[in-house]
Structure 1
Amino acid sequence: MALTPMMQQYLQVKEKCKDSILFFRLGDFYEMFFEDAEVASRELELVLTGRDCGLENRAPMCGIPYHAANSYIGRLVGKGYKIAICEQLEDPSVAKGIVKRDIIKIITPGTYTDSSFLDEKKNNYIMSLYIDNSKNTGICFADISTGDFYCANTKYNENIIMDEISKYLPTEIIILDESDEELLKAVNERYNILISKRNKDFFIEGSLHNLKEQFTDFNEELFHSCTINAANGMLNYIFETQKHSLCNINTIQYYSVEEFLNIDINTRRNLELTESQRDKTKKGSLLGIMDKTCTSMGARELRRWIEQPLINKKKIELRLDAIDELVHNITLHSDLKDALSEIYDIERIIGKVASKSVNAKELTALKNSLGRVPKVKEIIEQCSSIMIKSIFQDIDELSDIYKLLDEAIIDNPALSVKDGSIIKELYSDEVDDLRAAKAHGKEWIASLEQQEKEVTGIKSLKVSYNKVFGYYIEITNANKHLIPEGRYIRKQTLSNAERYITQELKEVEDKILGAEEKLITIEYELFVEVRDEVEKHIDRMKKTAKFIAELDCLMSLATLAVESNYCKPNITNDGAISIKDGKHPVIEKVIPSGTFVANNTFINNKEDMLLIITGPNMAGKSTYMRQVALITLMAQMGSFVPASSASISICDRIFTRIGASDDLNSGKSTFMVEMWEVSNILQNATNRSLVLLDEVGRGTSTYDGLSIAWAVIEYICDNKDIRCKTMFATHYHELTKLEGKIKGVKNYSVAVKEMGKDIIFLRKIIRGGADQSYGVEVAKLAGLPESVIARAKEILKSLEQDISKNEDLSIKETAVDASAKNNMLQISFSDIEKDSIIEEIKKIDILNLTPMEGFNKLYDLIKKVKSL
């Protein structure tokens, strides 16, 4: 059996988009067939029907009205599907044979620009990744809705790639089809990101030509070949899906991974920078309490500032000085806030101009936004801070574009650009003449009804219009006998009335409808001319939008500083972090006002390098460590901080190992994940890093865990390439004996007050180690049954008595002084067994072991000794 001509056409088009669901336009519907129909019917809850296609069995089929397609597309894209839109390319009424059809656009998660489905305060990034045979790696991120286009180059490192993904959170990744499966597995395990594979030629062919054509200032000498290929792959993919290049993507920004404060994927999660761990929303995150922006552009920029804190002292201080000026000038601050609040999303509107999908209402919003720019510039003219003065000097008021839009587009235009009611009066003589003709015709028709009522004496007579029959005179059957003979021509018979026309009415109808149709056509043509003229100035508007976003960020951070009584931090490079009355910026906001207990912090790379923090669970150790990291991060993004004073030495990286989690899909237990995170820190930390370690070693037996924790402290303090600022929270009280024995170690604890049989957490960090962990008391606070608590206390007392009788064993198996490092565990065994263990130890090449391998080897040795 042969396929029908229409189905042959469908399959030819489908061959071009095998990885997409094909929306095939048939009349007023988009139809889907075969497997696409089965997927769409399931995901969109549509009725699955069938259609004769020439084969023995009917083709599975489902469809949606074309005018309602956006909502269905949004739902499918949100679930990670690609949608290919196949339109009719000719008028069916004049087409000979099968109407010509082809794909006009492919919509993917990374190229979706519908503002009704995108988060206005978050970029929608797509990533391109190219790795060559020498493991050089090119990375590119783009947001086609805003025109952002970033590139970087690095040596292949799965951790770095995953860190960049966690920073930008792309919804789609374009990658070589021969890429490392382990990397793809790691991405799929952590994120819901669509992977689009392409061959090598897709990334390489025409690269320099494409980049030079897209970016007029492109300088190939500044880019590694891998970066060029990654960027070219991105451009090719944009062209493949959008079917044309986008002029709002006109600037390529090269960045280095090292030019920002490096925050790895685990740290971003632990510090809850842009989303909370609990429900993955903005609420409860640092961004949630810092975002006081007035514009969508500012909100996206602020997210970037949080995701990418600076390490350049001068740039940080420029932001701080600008915020300081806004904080201390209330009038300036208030006026700027009011002006910014009336500005729409210029970046995404011009993105729609570039993709030729903008409507007249959006151009009106653009006009209104541009109309506020002169006011913004007038407000900041008085500013003295260098950053705001620079914005004042460089910002373009765009008055010519405002004038064009103000003259051309009416203030409240129709939503559809093909329904007329777009062009303003006096902009076009032809439009004005056609509107006059249309208006006069309708006036004549309105007077006709009154005239005919008087002639016929029929009070219920009416003159009406519909799209099928045009204008007509309607008279009920009860009044037909009153019609003068020969006055009307019958047009349509209804059950209770007759419809008529006259020759004069027909002539006026032709004039009105002709004028209306021509008016719609001319208005659309003029709209396209205006849109294309605006498109020529996208580069100027994009720069102004960026300045508005920066001002909005500064205003937002100034508002936060005023409302929360934050201080301006002093930025240094002396290696020390000194904070007085520091608070956790998020927790302070979610608990009753005035109840958060502030704490001081002093840590450096010398005598106060590694702070061992002890105290019971729930006492606030983790909160305290996190607040130090967040205050440091906020200072480096150029924000005021929650403290009465703060001096922050610039850090190159922040690492955290906090909380218990597993990765069972990859066969990693909680303890294995913990060790992997510690290993990553020890391999990548430098003496400019800030490291937070919480309960290292708790995932295994007491002595194993203590041994590992001890070794980690030694490694950080003794390794000259690290010796970094470290906060080390632990329940191993034996580690407090390291103060005075390892240079740089200092003991701190969380103060606890005992009230009879109960305890009160004072949340205050004090000098010195805790003398007990209060674990049973914490269990009591958690609500364990009284019988369990009582029995636990009996067992604890018995164990403490046994330990006191064997104090030598406790010392030998836990804390020994630094001079006895080589004899940490004193164990007796037979000479044969002793020789075997010694030989194994002799063969260990300690200088070539990674920290992780060292931990594993130590664990194996202890396990063997315990089995004796």
Structure 2
Amino acid sequence: MQQHNAIKEKYPDAVLLFRVGDFYETFNEDAVIAAQVLGIVLTKRANGSSNGDLAGFPHHALDTYLHKLVKAGYRVAVCDQLEDPKTAKGIVKRGVTELVTPGVAVNDKILENSSNNFLAAVHFGGDVTGVSFLDISTGEFFVAEGSIEYVDKLLQSFRPAEVLFARQQQKNFKATFGTRFYTYTLEEWIFTTTYAEEILLKQFQTHSLKGFGVESMPAAIVAAGATLHYLKDTEHPNLQHITRMQRINQEDFLWMDRFTVRNLELLNSSVENGHTLLKTLDNTVTPMGARLLKRWLVFPLRHKDRINERLDTVEYLIKETDLANGLRQHLQQTGDLERLVSKIPLKKINPREVMQLARALQQVEAVKAVLGSNTNDYLQRLNEKLDVCAPIMNRILNEMMETPPVLVNKGGVIKDGVNAELDELRGIATKGKDYLLQIQQKESEATGIPSLKIAFNNVFGYYLEVTNTHKNKVPATWIRKQTLANAERYITPELKEYEEKIVGAEDKILALETRLFDELLAALQPFIEPIQQDAHIFARLDCLLCFAHNAVQYKYRRPEINDGFDLRITEGRHPVIERGLPPGESYVSNDITLDKEAQQIIILTGPNMSGKSALLRQTALITLMAHMGSFVPATRAEIGLTDKIFTRVGASDNLSGGESTFMVEMNETASIINSITPRSLVILDEIGRGTSTYDGISIAWSIVEYLHDMSGHQPKTLFATHYHELNELENKHARVKNFHITNMESGNKIIFLRKLAPGGSRHSFGIHVAKMAGMPPELINRANEVLAQLEEKHIDGALQQQVKNLSTPTQKLQLNIFDAHSDTFQGIREKLERVDINRLTPVEALLKLSEIKEMIG
């Protein structure tokens, strides 16, 4: 317990798994946590601890229980025995061999095949914030810096399992990024440029960071340095697979803020087990391809040449069916090459995985042969970079058994003929066992005991077993070792002599096989980087083949990417909704045109549930897919290069932040208004519905006018609304056009046709939708009565008339103070004094305001 307590002091914030014999034990507070999270028995024992709490599990179940603790958000220190208990004097020496946290995990049971497990670090560097993302399981290392909003978007896109930042920045971090992430704080001195550069140069063994293109990014360098420091601090010194940093350039990718990533349901659905764009598009066949596709999804390209390079390759793969099918078959047999190779320096790779690595390199060789005759420029360049790593591939195949065990200490890892000493020892062990059979046969004949057998146990090695029926035949020279109910066990000098030879040979075999396997792993080290390169190329091929497969399977077409500003989609479909339709039902496609000259803003009205939101989202998703380099669900799509996609769709209260639905809505909308450019695509759905009708109309109206009149910008905008009053904007502004989603009334029912048509809609059919949702009949009847009374009083008509009378924006005028004494002002004053504000309806207020406007001319 003294040993345990001394180690625990070094890792006070981690659950310490303390190896004792065949068990990992936890003590005191750790035992209470382990019992709760793992569902294991909590006991008390007089072990010298303060409260005696104890909970443990067998050492071979470490992977299972470690996974549960880390998933529950705990840091786990694994404390192993560092020497052989058989040879140790006194208490066995122990030490922490690994500190596992949510962001630092390499265990297959903790990791998800299709997702990266990023450890992030954030450095608040004044005006510029730096951020880094490192996946220790793959060796990928990204850095970036920019505004708080940019870093927030990157955090949303990369979704790190753990985020590091300086301890004194706790309040700042929470105020900026909320509580969405698992976080850990480090000392302030770690977040310094000098220390960061020192640790990075040591890792990459270079004289400067210029080769990574980050020399002018001090905040990003500091974040990257903090990440590497944390890895070493958590007992991960072997990081030879982290060979480079990649800089993320904001101008290289189409920008989507975190609200857009959420609203378009790119990675997560708003409903449980709902479909997302990622699930819909992901037909990759390798884990590294699935991880790269997710990154392509949240980082679409912004440069036309790079987009067309992908589109050209996808088109080529569609035409060359045999080539595409051959490539997919080879990729399927590769496994997770990226994570396999990363296990080598971490010393986590087992014999079976090494053999899988060699088989993956065989697939690299096959892919090179398949790509050798292709005529696509991009595929040729990828093919040139593939490296079969023939020397190490052949060595593995020549030296290792075809189906080696998972654990090297099980034996049977190295082939015969590789090492003369090993062959000799195997001969001794094999012949020794054959000789044991001869001894059994010889003694059986000499004693006349037909049931005599030779067996082995760990207590006294090899022995002869005689049943009680024949024990009177046992020679006096045999030494009795054990008496059982039905038999007795004996040993002989000859048996002991051969036991020593056999057991000695088997121990030496295991030691020698372990040494030879370690030599093989050492020989693999120089090949880590080229194998990583192969894995990255396979991931790209997988994503491009996935795009080609989707295009053929789901009738996607190649989009035309141009330098213009227009967006023209013919017969566009929503890729996610389309795939979720029942068999035999087809998606109703629609055309959309947005341009800067005639149709910059579309005001979209229509009944509830008619498909307005689907149309908005599909326009954004088609634009996004095109910039990924994917074919799109449309018969034709002409898409001007887009630099940003913004969406404002739905909102919920941020109660923990003290913000109402309307405040959240306004925050998101303000973020859009302040960030748009001429190449932005803006999707707005039901702006202003979080407040009163008149406030909502006023805000929505002014947003449309602002987007229309922005000098030099005029972003392409789709604006869905229930405020039919906004249809008046078409008459007041040249580039605003009204459209609606069509429907057909049949008796008391409404049929949604889901087709876009010019002109505004006058009805929302909210009561019809309420009826369809299963509202009680008496409630529906009462709603119809109230609607009829309101329509009879022409409230809607009065409001509409006020809207028509609205003038275009004018300059603000300041009244002369002497006007207060004029007859006009006196009349206004008298009129206001006669108004009973407590009984005034909103419409009557608007009418009074109109009268006052007429009085002042």
2:637 is equivalent to residue 643 of structure 1: no
Q: For residues 834 and 654 of structure 1, do their structure 2 counterparts lie closer, same or farther at Cα, with a shift above 3 Å needed?
A: farther
Which of 768, 784, 795 is 2:775 aligned to? 784
* Aligned partners of 1:471 and 1:505 also within 8 Å: yes
Distance apart, 1:816 and its partner CA: 3.7
1:832 and 1:441, CA in 2 relative to 1: closer, same or farther beyond 3 A? farther
Q: Is residue 2:279 matched to residue 1:288?
A: yes
2:464 is the counterpart of 1:473? yes
Q: In structure 2, which of residues 648, 656, 664 is the aligned counterpart of residue 657 of structure 1?
A: 648
**Partner residue of 1:71?**
64
- Distance, in Å, in 2 between the alignment partners of 1:89 and 1:261 is 51
Report the identity percentage.
39
CA contact (8 A) 2:236 2:346 kept: no
Mapping of residues 140-539 of structure 1, within 5 Å: 140-155=132-147, 157=148, 159-179=149-169, 181-184=171-174, 187-189=177-179, 191=180, 193-204=181-192, 206-216=195-205, 219-220=209-210, 222-279=215-272, 284-483=275-474, 485-539=475-529
1:559-638 → structure 2 map (5 Å cutoff) = 559-592=549-582, 593-638=584-629
Greater Cα shift, 630-639 or 410-419? 410-419
Aligned to 2:31: 37
Change (3 A) 1:455 1:188: farther
Matching residue's letter, 1:215: F
Counterpart AA for 1:214: Q
Secondary structure of 1:418's counterpart equals helix
CA contact (8 A) 1:735 1:815 kept: no
Q: Secondary structure at the match of 1:105?
A: strand
Given the superposition, is the C-alpha separation of residues 865 and 115 from structure 1 closer, same or farther in structure 2, using an over 3 Å criterion? farther
Q: Residues 865 and 25 (structure 1 numbering): CA distance in 2 closer, same or farther, change over 3 Å?
A: farther
| Structure 2 equivalent of residue 737 of structure 1 | 728
2:94 is equivalent to residue 101 of structure 1? yes
Opposite residue 195 of structure 2, the aligned amino acid is: G
Deviations along 1:130-183, one digit per CA (max 9) or x if unpaired, are 112x2321110000000000000113x2x3332111100101011111115153
Q: Which amino acid aligns with 1:85?
A: V
Q: 1:657 to 1:741 in 2, by over 3 A?
A: same
Q: Could you say which residue in structure 2 is the equivalent of 1:48? A: 42
Q: Is the 8 A contact 1:350 1:535 kept in 2?
A: no
Do the aligned partners of residues 51 and 809 (structure 1) sit closer, same or farther apart at CA in structure 2, a change above 3 Å counting?
A: closer
| Gaps in structure 2 of 5+ consecutive residues | 814-822, 833-844, 853-857
> CA, structure 1 residues 50+322, in 2 after alignment: closer, same or farther (shift >3 Å)?
same
Deviations 1:623-662 (A, max 9, x none): 0010010000000000000011111112111111112311
Decide whether the 8 Å contact of 1:613 with 1:621 is kept in 2. Answer: yes
In 2, the alpha carbon distance for the partners of 1:307 and 1:23 equals: 38
Give the equivalent residue in structure 2 for 1:853.
none
Instruction: Determine if the alignment matches structure 1 residue 701 to structure 2 residue 692.
Output: yes
C-alpha contact (below 8 Å) 1:742/1:818 kept by paired residues: no
Corresponding letter in the other structure for 2:548:
A
**How far did 1:434 drift?**
1.1
Residue number in structure 2 paired with 1:841: none
CA distance in 1 between counterparts of 2:412 and 2:828 reads 94
Q: What are the within-5 Å matches in structure 2 for residues 23-34 of structure 1? A: 23-34=17-28
| Contact kept? 2:70, 2:110, Cα under 8 Å | no
Distance in 1 separating the partners of 2:737 and 2:586: 28
Residues in 2 aligned to 1:25 and 1:580: alpha-carbon distance in whole angstroms: 65
The whole-number CA distance in structure 2 between the counterparts of 1:577 and 1:625 is 13
Deviation of residue 301 (structure 1)? 0.9
Farther-moved stretch of structure 1 (85-94 vs 28-37) = 85-94
Say if 2:690 and 2:696, in contact at 8 Å, map to a contact too: yes
1:521–1:725: structure 2 CA closer, same or farther, 3 Å change rule?
A: same
- Distance in 2 between the 1:224 and 1:583 partners? 42
Matched, 1:137 2:129: yes
Assess, with a 3 A threshold, how the Cα gap between structure 1 residues 43 and 831 changes in structure 2: closer, same or farther.
farther
CA RMSD of aligned residues (A): 2.5
Give distance in 2, aligned partners of 1:284 and 1:67: 38
Deviations 1:476-523, CA, capped at 9 Å, x for gaps: 11111123x335222222222111122111111111100000000010
Deviation at 1:185, TM superposition (A): 5.1
Q: Is the 8 A contact 1:632 1:648 kept in 2?
A: yes
Aligned to 1:851: none
Secondary structure of 2:445's counterpart equals: helix
Distance (whole Å) between structure 2 residues aligned to residue 832 and residue 696 of structure 1: 39
Code of the aligned partner of 1:583 = R
**Change over 3 Å in CA distance of 1:733–1:53 after alignment to 2:** same
Distance 1:185 1:60 in 2: 39
Find the aligned partners of 2:809 and 2:639 in 1 and give their Cα distance. 37
* Distance change (3 Å), C-alpha of 1:160 and 1:602: same
Give TM-score, length-normalised by structure 1: 0.91
Which residues of structure 1 form unaligned runs of 5+?
A: 1-6, 839-860
CA contact (8 A) 1:597 1:764 kept: yes
* 1:426 positional shift: 1.4
Q: Distance in 1 between matches of 2:74 and 2:650?
A: 35
List per-residue Cα deviations over 1:33-62 (Å, max 9, x = no partner): 22222222222222222343557x543222
* TM-superposed deviation, 1:808: 5.0
Moved more, 474-483 or 727-736: 474-483
Q: Hey, what's the Cα distance between the residues in 2 that align with 1:243 and 1:759?
A: 64
Which whole-Å CA distance do the structure 1 matches of 2:178 and 2:521 have between them? 41
**Structure 1 counterpart of 2:189, which letter?**
D
Determine the C-alpha separation between the residues in 2 that align with 1:11 and 1:315: 58
Matches within 5 A, 1:707-746: 707-720=698-711, 722-746=713-737
CA distance in 2, matches of 1:700, 1:10: 60
- The Cα of 1:322 is off from its aligned counterpart by 0.4
1:141 maps to amino acid: F
Q: Please state whether the residue corresponding to 1:478 is helix, strand or coil.
A: helix
Q: Distance in 2 between matches of 1:599 and 1:11?
A: 69
Question: How much does 1:260 deviate?
Answer: 1.0
Decide whether the 8 Å contact of 1:149 with 1:251 is kept in 2. Answer: yes
Choose 618-627 or 399-408, whichever is displaced more. Answer: 399-408
Deviates more, 1:661-670 or 1:139-148: 661-670
Per mean C-alpha deviation after superposition, the further-off stretch among 299-308 and 735-744 is 735-744
Alignment match, 2:546: 556
Give the Cα–Cα distance (whole angstroms) in 2 for the partners of residues 58 and 799 of structure 1: 73
Contact 1:174 / 1:234 at 8 angstroms: preserved in 2?
A: yes
Tell me what 2:8 maps to. Answer: 14
Cα distance, 1:98 vs. partner? 3.1
Task: Give the conservation status (yes or no) of the 8 Å contact 1:617–1:778.
Answer: yes
In 1, Cα distance between equivalents of 2:67 and 2:538: 29
> Which whole-Å CA distance do the structure 2 matches of 1:457 and 1:187 have between them?
85
- Aligned positions, number: 822
Q: 1:118 to 1:834 in 2, by over 3 A?
A: farther
> Is the 8 Å Cα contact of residues 294 and 552 (structure 1) preserved in structure 2?
yes
Partner of residue 843, structure 1:
none
Q: 2:357, 2:138 → 1: CA distance?
A: 14
Give the Cα–Cα distance (whole angstroms) in 2 for the partners of residues 832 and 469 of structure 1.
117
1:266-290: per-residue Cα shift (whole Å, max 9, x none)?
A: 11111111222212x5x61111111
Aligned partner of 2:819 in structure 1 is none
Deviation at 1:821, TM superposition (A): 6.1
Deviations 1:333-355 (A, max 9, x none): 11111111111111101111120
